[in-house]
Amino acid sequence: MPGGLGYLRADLHIHTALSPCAESEMTPAAIMEEARRKGVGLVGITDHNSAENAVACLRAGARSGVHVLPGMEVQTREEIHVLTFFGSIEPLMDWQQEVYAHLPAERNREEFFGEQLILDEEGGITGKCSRLLLTSTDLSLAEVVRRTQELGGLVIPAHIDRPSYSLIRNLGFVPPGLHVNALELSPHISRDEAYTRFPWTRAFPLITSSDAHRLREIHGRTVLCIGDDLGGAISRATGGDIDGAGLAALFGEFILCLASRAGRFVDTLWWEPMNHLNQSI
């Protein structure tokens, strides 16, 4: 009912064809159609060290009825992958410029790493990112957390259970005083298994995401309990615009879910691991 609570399945770690390790099929329109077909109502767009396709994905999401949280997967100097999300495009673009300034001055070599495609909402190629994205910045984990939050964003260390590019593999724990908003599990571990193997994770909200580099990998194992009429509220607030009050409303609901406030919460679903799910970077 209006003013009540509803549920939204989410996959908050999806790469577009901007990430050189992603398939060319990962266009904004194709991602939204795959999510819609699978009943995933919210996707996070998190390319490696760049957000060049965020606006195109927001436009594709608005056309398909899939909500989009724009963000970026930053690789710290400790080689830890960190998801960063924002409730507006402007601070995300500011963050992108900061991240670019902390990447090595190297050009992407397509023959080794793959293309880094900048796309429109339908998947048309509008350009290529020439800088090397598949590498570490010289920003520390603490610096990524601090600057993202200073810009108004959220920070979620990615796939913490993985044997590479993860918080547990590289540090073993969340450093004292480091205030992250949640932790992400890969599809290969359940929440209960994470609690058993890493008891300290009980202190944090947990999400499960696909880290999809291919369309078939998209899933909705994270469930958000949100305001029941979120889509209508966003439409009324923005008149259908992709940014502004609508995106801010979505971002605000996500914050409430992670903080378990106002009756909101986040939960994870579990079923047997599927061999085709992504295990790459």
Q: Give the residue extent of every domain in the chain.
A: 5-268
The answer for 215, left when phi > 0, alpha when psi is -120 to 50, beta otherwise, is alpha
Instruction: Of 229, 197, 216, give the one whose Cα is nearest residue 30.
Output: 216
* Residue 278 confidence (pLDDT): 37
* Residue 154 confidence (pLDDT): 98
* Residue 184 confidence (pLDDT): 98
Residue ranges of the chain with pLDDT lower than 70?
1-4, 228-242, 270-281
- In this structure, what are the phi and psi dihedrals at residue 198, rounded to the nearest 5 degrees? -130, 80
Report pTM.
0.92
Instruction: Of 8, 96, 108, 115, give the one whose Cα is nearest residue 45.
Output: 96
Taking the C-alpha atoms of residue 72 and residue 96, their distance in angstroms, rounded to an integer, is 8
Taking the C-alpha atoms of residue 138 and residue 103, their distance in angstroms, rounded to an integer, is 7
Cβ burial, residue 181 (10 Å; 0-12/13-18/19+): buried
Taking the C-alpha atoms of residue 24 and residue 209, their distance in angstroms, rounded to an integer, is 20
* Residue 101 confidence (pLDDT): 98
Instruction: Of 169, 173, 176, 162, give the one whose Cα is nearest residue 208.
Output: 162
Q: Which two tokens stand for residue 222?
A: 């994270």
* Residue 210 confidence (pLDDT): 98
* Residue 279 confidence (pLDDT): 34
Class of domain 5-268: alpha beta
